[in-house]
Amino acid sequence: MERADAIAAQATSGRPDSARYTRHMPSESALRFRPARTLLISIVLIAAASTLLLMQPFATPLDPREREHFYWDRHLWQCIYDSFSAACGCGLLTIRETYSAAGRVILTLAAIAGSLAYVIAAHRASIRLRMAVGGTSGPLAGLSAVLVCWAASIAIGAIVWIIVAMARGAMPIADALMTGAASAGGCGLAFSSLPASMHIAVLASSILAAAGWPLLLTLVGRNADIGVKKRRILWSCFGYFVSLALLTTIVALCEQPLQRGQRQVVLDQTLSAEAATVRWQRAATAVVCAAGSGLPTETADARSLSEGSRFALGLAAWLGGLGGSATGGVKWSLFILAFAAVVGSAGISARATSAHWTAHRCVRAAVRVIGVQLVLTIVTAVGLLAIQRQTASPFDPAPGFGEAWLDASSAVNGAAVSSGISANVTSGRLSKGLGLSADLYQYGMGWLMLAMLLGRAAPIAIVSRAADEPLSDAPAGTSPLA
């Protein structure tokens, strides 16, 4: 208990409201908690339980002959892949339309359980880093308040989806309930194509997923529990939506119809076929949903979106939501912290030596998260291109890097926006006996599952590791807890 007591004493010394600060101090067991390791174990256990249930006939109906012969291996791999995808908040499913109602409930519960595990791990990692720098920024909201915000977002998202589905008759109420709950929890899980009449619900759940508990607590007047001024949180929120507006502008400009004389070269139902106002609205919805819930609102194949638009949607998924949200990605708070370090903005060149060291540790963690997520996404994209090249039919068009980037960003950062390359490398036509001497779909599934796991756990591990770094980099005369 010596370390916990020392940290609490350092963080509360000289504060008139030290009782409120001490109330948020974690115990020794919380300091020993390993968020990344616990998150990985939780995801594996959730996926394993979901797989066992999905393999049952009541969850995934199969013809008896398919269960007895070659299709059994494919069925097992599909259940494993879909379970991992749901638990990691990705939603890149293989057979979403063929699951029974029980199967859809199982996957939805797996997605919500994975989201819960991620929120808890992220909160614990934040506590470890906050305590490692002496708690000089004030208290961090307790886990109970964080879980209340998370549960409220999911409940509100489910209610919004049910209301819109009932008002417009766009989809069954049960599917609306499951999709709304999963999407508000930052899981891009949908079991059918989303009609345009449901886009308002998708947008609402995406905003809820991207908001994060710091903003939600601020909106209800509880920002004192966060240790950050309300004005700073609102300015951070404003900057985040400005970044989404820039990505929206990129998509809208890339989808302007080409002019050849007086004739516009467009395809029906694409963004290019719409009027300018509608095109900008659909572009904004696609970007916000890619960053928030991860649900796709636009077809992103080569015939529907340009290379630049796919790259922008991949960036939105890579960016993720605000700090404290259940979405994947690098998170806006870490991104803006690293950006401020690069340009030398206020707050990084601190006045006090101890404050400079504190900021340096946090900035270093932010830069590492951004670098690791970017490298993971690029490596995953290159791997997808290599697997696609080895498994594709001679008649399949060669995908570009923008298509691979979009699918890789969705896998690493938790979204379901796809150009189709993920479906190609996990397709059932790669099964043995269909002109092939061996199954090839395992390569794509294994590669994507590895990307999902690393993308989910790596940021947590980096932030947590920053709290465990030795104090030898502290400037001379600085308290080891400052």
- Residue 59 has a pLDDT of 85
- Calpha distance 82→47 (Å, rounded): 8
Six-digit token string for 451 = 């990307």
Min mean pLDDT across 202-211, 228-237, 292-301, 471-480 is at 471-480
Within 141-247, strands assigned E span none
Average pLDDT, the chain: 77
CB-based contact 319:335 (threshold 8 Å): yes
- Chain centroid to Cα 11, Å, comes to 32
Share of the chain above pLDDT 70, in %: 73
Min mean pLDDT across 231-240, 265-274, 358-367, 419-428 is at 265-274
- Calpha distance 335→21 (Å, rounded): 27
- Calpha distance 363→355 (Å, rounded): 12
pLDDT band at 277 (very low <50, low <70, confident <90, very high): confident
Mean pLDDT, residues 54-58 taken together: 87
Q: What is the pTM of this model?
A: 0.83
Neighbours of 234 (CB within 10 A): 14
- Residue 169 has a pLDDT of 80
Min mean pLDDT across 97-101, 199-203, 342-346 is at 342-346
pLDDT band at 187 (very low <50, low <70, confident <90, very high): confident
Distances (CA, A) of 198 to 180, 295, 296: 10, 12, 12
- Secondary structure (3-state) at 141: coil
- Residue 412 has a pLDDT of 93
Per-residue three-class SS string for 3-29: HHHHHHHHHHCCCCCHHHHHHCCCCHH
pLDDT band at 106 (very low <50, low <70, confident <90, very high): very high
| Terminal CA-CA length for the chain | 19
CB-based contact 307:281 (threshold 8 Å): no
- Calpha distance 365→236 (Å, rounded): 19
CB-based contact 226:217 (threshold 8 Å): yes
CB-based contact 39:121 (threshold 8 Å): yes
Six-digit token string for 6 = 């020392």
Cβ neighbourhood burial of 444 (10 Å; 0-12, 13-18, 19+): buried
Mean pLDDT, residues 419-439 taken together: 74
- Residue 152 has a pLDDT of 92
The tally of CA atoms less than 13 A away on the side-chain side of residue 342 is: 9
pLDDT over 60 at 457, yes or no? yes
Distances (CA, A) of 463 to 187, 194, 199, 209, 321: 22, 36, 35, 21, 17
Neighbours of 256 (CB within 10 A): 14
Q: Domains of the chain: which residue ranges?
A: 33-256+271-473
- Secondary structure (3-state) at 453: helix
Neighbours of 433 (CB within 10 A): 11
Q: Which residues contact 382 (CB under 8 A, 6 or more apart)?
A: 404
